[in-house]
Structure 1
Amino acid sequence: MNPPHLPPREFLLNATPGIRVVVRYRIDDGLTDALGYLLASNDTACTVRTRTTDVEIPLALVIAAKEVPPPPPRRQAR
């Protein structure tokens, strides 16, 4: 796991692509989260693959980011 003490921007710039992350960022009417796998990051944005889509997040809008553990296994169908 990556060190949790880095500021969000530095964490995302130094994180290894492929790790599972949660990123909280600003939107027009408040805040939202992106939970998924970090695909890439550069000086201006990061891309997170969520369950439904790839989300490109401008780093200027990020207020928090951290690595999270893998998702729990899916339940068996009854």
Structure 2
Amino acid sequence: MHMRGRLVHRIVPDDVGQRVSVRIRLPEGGFTDIVGVVESWADHVLTLRRRDGSSVEVAESDIAASRVVPPVPPRRRGGRPPETP
């Protein structure tokens, strides 16, 4: 999200359905990051679905930086593969 010290906002409304990382400005002046899938983007507000299933609304004007990130890889089930004799 940084490009030579600058924050870069790279996501657009066409990224609905994509997993993104968004850095938002906090009222106190700091920042926080949210990673989730963009569920909707309307009236300058994004709705992101987090991995835990919760959703959060983010005003476009609060976004300091953003980018599309790869999907979460599926978790392996079971553990190690069986050993061959």
TM-score (norm 2): 0.67
Compute the RMSD of aligned alpha carbons. Answer: 2.1
The 4+ residue runs of structure 1 with deviation greater than 2 A are 10-13, 75-78
Question: Offset of 1:70 from its aligned partner?
Answer: 1.0
* 1:40 matched residue in structure 2: 40
Q: Which has the larger radius of gyration?
A: 2
Q: Is 2:11–2:68's contact at 8 Å kept on the other side of the alignment?
A: no
Which is helix-richer, 1 or 2? 1
Q: Gaps spanning 5+ residues in structure 1: where? A: 1-6
After superposition, where does 1:15-30 map in structure 2 within 5 Å?
15-29=14-28, 30=30
Unaligned runs of 5+ in 2: 1-7, 80-85
* C-alpha deviation, 1:76, in angstroms: 3.9
Deviation string 1:6-43 (CA, Å, 9 cap, x unpaired) is x62x7333x23211111110113311111111011124
Partner of 1:35, secondary structure, is: strand
Identity %: 34
Listed as ranges, the matches of 1:1-78 within 5 Å are 8=9, 11-13=11-13, 15-29=14-28, 30-52=30-52, 53-76=54-77
Residues matched between the structures, number? 70
SS of equivalent to 1:18: coil
